[in-house]
Amino acid sequence: MNEIAKRAICVGEATVELARGGDGRFALASSGDAFNTAIYLARAGQPTAVATALGDDPYSDAIVSLAAAEGIGIDLMTRVTGRLPALSLVDADLKGGRRTHAWRDAQPARDLFELPNWSVTAAALTAARLVYFSGITLSLYSNVGLGRFLAALELARTAGVRIAFDGNFRPDGWRGDVARARTVYAEALKRVDIALPTYDDEAVLWGDPSPEATVERLQAFGVGEIVVKNGPNGALVATTGAHDMVPVPEVVTPVDATAAGDGFNAGYLAARLSGQSAFEAAGAAHRLAGQVIRHRGAIVPRSGAAVH
């Protein structure tokens, strides 16, 4: 099997981001939860690609250039003539809390599985080592796109590809239609091997009263490996025959919480792909998330990007 076939593929959006810096000014960057996760996976030495769609504008060029510079495969980053990528504006308060406003409706990533070459993307998923996506990914697609994406996941899983999913529920992305979000998530979860939800998100979407309730619900969908992120309270890890809380090794006051979950997910998946146990991987994930929140913006400068 060649390296292309062994890679992890992160499916979702890659956006233009305007983030406020410590001087109060906004700086231009690239972001997106799947894109952030891909960068941290690649930095951990895991062959990684991003499956998305972008425009033919200079800002899309910059996103592709960043991916290439980070060693991410760009062959699944489809370019669409006359279109523009999504724009996110990120502000942070003095406590590190984030306020995000996003313009997503016209972005080509929404049409990834309806573009003329969608079957090429779908086929690539079946040749991956791992496919990662999120609730934000699901919120992008129409019913047609969702049907094709979920069918591709089914084929990939049948071919032995591991499927990882972060619920990452954002009500705005679903236009407040919680019922549709639940229906789509339920279909996706039937095809998931590794779930990496954040407890606060699960409480909003499903009304889970505790991380333990989240684990129980996801196990009912047949998910065999579950890591419920719960901020400074640690992460609840549940696998077949094992169930325990992995504490945060060091509680950090965040400079900016943007992409903390993306970093956690990448740290966890990179460790698992390297052969570490789920509990060891959760420790690695905590360490990377701790590094991410010490910096403004989604992507830590490379000098501070160690995963292990």
Q: Rg of the chain over CA atoms, in angstroms?
A: 18
Integer Cα distance of 301 and 202 in angstroms:
31
Q: Which residues contact 203 (CB under 8 A, 6 or more apart)?
A: 209
Integer Cα distance of 168 and 261 in angstroms:
9
Integer Cα distance of 291 and 296 in angstroms:
11
What are residue 244's DSSP bridge partners?
237
User: What's the pLDDT at 251?
Assistant: 77
Residue 262 annotated as catalytic: yes
User: What's the pLDDT at 258?
Assistant: 79
User: What's the pLDDT at 211?
Assistant: 97
User: What's the pLDDT at 303?
Assistant: 63
What are residue 131's DSSP bridge partners?
9, 163
Degrees, nearest 5: CA angle 154-165-139: 90
User: What's the pLDDT at 170?
Assistant: 94
Its pTM stands at: 0.94
The domain total for the chain is 1
The domain that contains 75 carries what CATH number? 3.40.1190.20
Q: Alpha carbon of 68 to those of 49, 72, 98, 270: distances in Å?
A: 10, 5, 28, 19
pLDDT lower than 50: segments of the chain? 1-5, 304-308
User: Catalytic pick from 166, 201, 208, 262?
Assistant: 262
User: What's the pLDDT at 298?
Assistant: 79
Domain that holds residue 64: 3-304
Closest CA to 241 of 269, 271, 278: 278
DSSP H/E element including 87: strand 87-92
User: What's the pLDDT at 106?
Assistant: 95
User: What's the pLDDT at 3?
Assistant: 44
